[in-house]
């Protein structure tokens, strides 16, 4: 039995679910799972639909859906099930290690095309997995030149997403604008608290009782993009900065992994500075 995945977002209006259901039935597709949501603040409809049935010609199905949906609707049928990703790193290995292991065992639902870093620290580790590593130093060059080198490398791999796996450089708005909704960052705190550098020290000095991690899409506003996944763990007065960092690394891996899974399974829609997630 053939499987079909359909992603829809459009202006909301009465009868959309009925219309979509009829089009799919006319194409002999049976809905096996359907999640929909209306963002009333902007009057926008979102849907993720899984279908089974005889093979339907995608072009005809696409045209039939677009004909009935409001003007400007975005319809995607059977998006690429294996996304291509480029991973950017600095020196910390824990998130990269988790990603490369999952990639090696084909549980990432994506293909790591390459790893690029502004230090060579993680090059030997990356190459153990037969993944290309590109070293791009940020020293003694302008931000523009540094990012131009990165962009040239990224362009050769044509990735669907860029993963900032503890990449400790702030990307320029010009860089980010080239990949709207396609850059995912793992931030080592529960945003919007403790943005920027040294969040664990900030948390320690504030005497918090919970620490967390946040995976989010990158925008031109530092650590303020649409949030995908957040998790927290308890800490107490016995935790120094080093203990917080150690505990935080474990939750960072889990949060980034879950965020990538949701995105790669096409379960995440962006609306303004928020996300809609059909888990």
Range of the domain at 265: 83-277
Clarify whether residues 172 and 56 are in a common domain.
no
Last-in-domain residue among 77, 109, 139? 77
Task: Give dist(CA 96, CA 74) in Å, integer.
Answer: 33
Per-residue pLDDT at 196: 60
Beta strands in the chain (DSSP E): 2-11, 29-39, 44-53, 74-77, 83-89, 110-117, 133-135, 161-164, 183-187, 210-217, 227-234, 268-271, 274-277
Alpha helical stretches, state H, 27-122: 58-68, 94-104
128's CB contacts (< 8 A; 6+ apart) are none
CB of 90 within 8 A of CB of 117? Answer: yes
Residue indicated by tokens 């209006």: 13
Query: Distance between alpha carbon 202 and the CA centroid of its chain, in Å?
Result: 26
Clarify whether residues 157 and 265 are in a common domain.
yes
Task: Give dist(CA 132, CA 247) in Å, integer.
Answer: 30
Per-residue pLDDT at 124: 98
Per-residue pLDDT at 74: 97
3-state secondary structure of 178: coil
Residue of 83, 149, 160 whose CA lies nearest to 117: 149
Q: What total of structural domains would you count in the chain?
A: 2
Last-in-domain residue among 31, 56, 77? 77
Q: Are strands 110-117 and 83-89 parallel, antiparallel or unpaired?
A: parallel
Clarify whether residues 114 and 228 are in a common domain.
yes
Per-residue pLDDT at 190: 56
3-state secondary structure of 66: helix
Last-in-domain residue among 24, 48, 77? 77
Clarify whether residues 46 and 169 are in a common domain.
no
CB of 200 within 8 A of CB of 213? Answer: no
Query: Distance between alpha carbon 189 and the CA centroid of its chain, in Å?
Result: 17
CATH number, position 104: 3.40.50.170
Angle between helices 199-206 and 241-264 (to 10 degrees): 130
3-state secondary structure of 112: strand
Clarify whether residues 181 and 237 are in a common domain.
yes
| 223 a catalytic residue | yes
CATH number, position 39: 3.30.70.260
Clarify whether residues 88 and 212 are in a common domain.
yes
CB of 190 within 8 A of CB of 204? Answer: no
Per-residue pLDDT at 117: 98
Clarify whether residues 248 and 118 are in a common domain.
yes
Clarify whether residues 171 and 197 are in a common domain.
yes
What is the model's pTM?
A: 0.91
Cβ atoms within 10 Å, residue 85: 26
CB of 188 within 8 A of CB of 204? Answer: no
Clarify whether residues 22 and 70 are in a common domain.
yes
Per-residue pLDDT at 250: 87
User: Which one of the listed residues 26, 223, 224, 266 is annotated catalytic?
Assistant: 223
pLDDT tens string for the chain (279 positions)? 689 999 999 999 999 999 999 999 999 999 999 999 999 999 999 999 999 987 668 999 999 999 999 999 999 999 999 999 999 999 999 999 999 999 999 999 999 999 999 999 999 999 999 999 999 999 999 999 999 999 999 999 999 999 999 999 999 999 999 999 999 999 876 545 666 666 767 777 777 777 888 999 999 887 789 999 999 888 888 888 788 778 788 899 999 999 999 999 999 999 999 999 999
């Amino acid at each position: 039995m053939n499987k079909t995945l359909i992603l829809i977002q459009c202006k909301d209006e009465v009868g959309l679910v009925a219309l979509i259901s009829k089009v799919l039935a006319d194409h002999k597709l049976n809905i096996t799972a359907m999640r929909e949501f209306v963002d009333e603040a902007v009057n926008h409809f979102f849907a993720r639909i899984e279908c089974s049935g005889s093979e339907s010609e995608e072009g005809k199905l696409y045209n039939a859906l677009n004909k009935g949906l409001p003007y400007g609707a975005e319809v995607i049928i059977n998006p690429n099930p294996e996304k291509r990703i480029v991973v950017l790193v600095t020196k910390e290995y824990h998130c990269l290690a988790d990603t490369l292991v999952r990639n090696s065992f084909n549980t990432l639902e994506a293909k790591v095309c390459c790893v690029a870093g502004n230090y060579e620290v993680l090059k030997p580790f990356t190459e153990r997995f037969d993944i290309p590593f590109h070293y791009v130093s940020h020293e003694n060059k302008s931000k523009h030149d540094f990012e131009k080198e990165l962009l040239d490398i990224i362009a050769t791999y044509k990735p669907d997403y860029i993963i900032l796996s503890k990449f400790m450089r702030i990307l320029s708005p010009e860089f980010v604008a080239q990949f709207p909704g396609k850059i995912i960052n793992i931030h080592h705190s529960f945003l919007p608290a403790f943005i920027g550098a040294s969040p664990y020290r900030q948390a320690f000095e504030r005497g918090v009782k919970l620490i967390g991690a946040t995976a989010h899409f990158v925008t031109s506003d530092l650590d303020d993009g649409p949030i995908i996944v957040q998790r927290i763990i308890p800490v107490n007065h016995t935790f120094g900065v080093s203990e917080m960092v150690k505990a935080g690394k474990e939750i960072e891996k889990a949060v980034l992994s879950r965020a990538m899974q949701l995105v790669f399974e096409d379960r995440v829609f962006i609306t303004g500075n928020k996300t809609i997630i059909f888990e």
